C-alpha cells in the first residue's frame, strides 16, 4: 500500500492552502478584498463537487468575510529602525502616512488629494521616492 495521498486528499490540501494564502495576503494588504473575493470564487468554481464539504464551507464562509472588508492598499517600507506605513482606502481621496522608529510611532500625516486616482498616484510616488532612498518594501 502506498503512503502517497490520493488525488482527492491532495486537492483538499491544496484548496485549504490556497484559502490560507488568500486570507494571509488580504490581512497583509497584498491583495484587495475584491481580489480576495475573486480568488475564492475561482477556487470554488474549480473544486466544488470534487472536494470535501469542509473545503466548500470554508470557501463560502470566506466569501461572506470579504464583503465586510473595506478595500485598502497598505505599503510598508523599512530602512534600519525606521518603518513607513502608507495606507490608502480605495475610492478615498486621502492617503495616510505613518512613521515608526523601533516600533514606536514618531509621526503621522494625512494627505488629501482631489480624486481617488490622484491619491493612488501620490501613494505610488511616495513608495518610489522611499525605494530610491534605499528603503525596502515588505
Question: 51 and 77, same structural domain?
Answer: no
Task: Please give the pLDDT value at position 74.
Answer: 83
Question: 105 and 121, same structural domain?
Answer: yes
Q: Are 86 and 109 in contact (CB under 8 A)?
A: no
Task: Please give the pLDDT value at position 70.
Answer: 60
Instruction: Classify residue 1: in a domain, yes or no.
Output: no
Strand 136-137 to 104-112 pairing:
unpaired
Number of domains making up the chain: 2
Task: Please give the pLDDT value at position 1.
Answer: 57
Question: 133 and 77, same structural domain?
Answer: yes
Could you tell me which residues come within 8 angstroms of residue 22 by beta carbon, excluding any fewer than 6 positions away? Answer: 31, 36, 39, 40, 43, 62
Task: Please give the pLDDT value at position 56.
Answer: 78
Among 131, 82, 83, 89, residue whose Cα is nearest residue 110: 89
Out of 25, 50, 68, pick the residue that ends a domain. Answer: 68
Strand 94-101 to 72-79 pairing:
unpaired
pTM value is 0.51
Instruction: Classify residue 14: in a domain, yes or no.
Output: yes
pLDDT along the chain (138 residues), means of 10: 81 86 80 85 89 77 65 84 87 88 85 88 92 91
Amino acid at each position: 500500500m502506498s503512503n502517497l495521498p490520493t488525488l482527492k486528499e491532495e486537492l483538499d490540501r491544496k484548496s485549504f492552502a490556497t484559502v490560507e494564502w488568500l486570507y494571509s495576503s488580504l490581512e497583509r494588504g497584498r491583495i484587495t478584498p475584491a481580489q480576495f473575493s475573486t480568488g475564492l470564487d475561482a477556487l470554488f468554481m474549480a473544486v466544488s463537487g470534487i472536494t470535501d464539504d469542509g473545503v466548500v464551507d470554508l470557501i463560502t464562509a470566506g466569501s461572506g468575510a470579504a464583503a465586510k472588508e473595506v478595500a485598502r492598499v497598505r505599503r510598508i517600507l523599512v530602512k534600519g529602525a525606521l518603518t513607513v506605513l502608507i495606507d490608502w482606502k480605495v475610492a478615498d481621496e486621502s492617503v495616510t502616512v505613518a512613521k515608526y522608529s523601533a516600533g514606536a510611532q514618531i509621526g503621522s500625516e494625512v494627505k488629501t488629494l482631489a480624486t481617488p486616482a490622484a491619491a493612488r498616484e501620490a501613494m505610488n510616488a511616495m513608495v518610489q521616492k522611499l525605494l530610491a532612498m534605499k528603503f525596502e518594501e515588505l
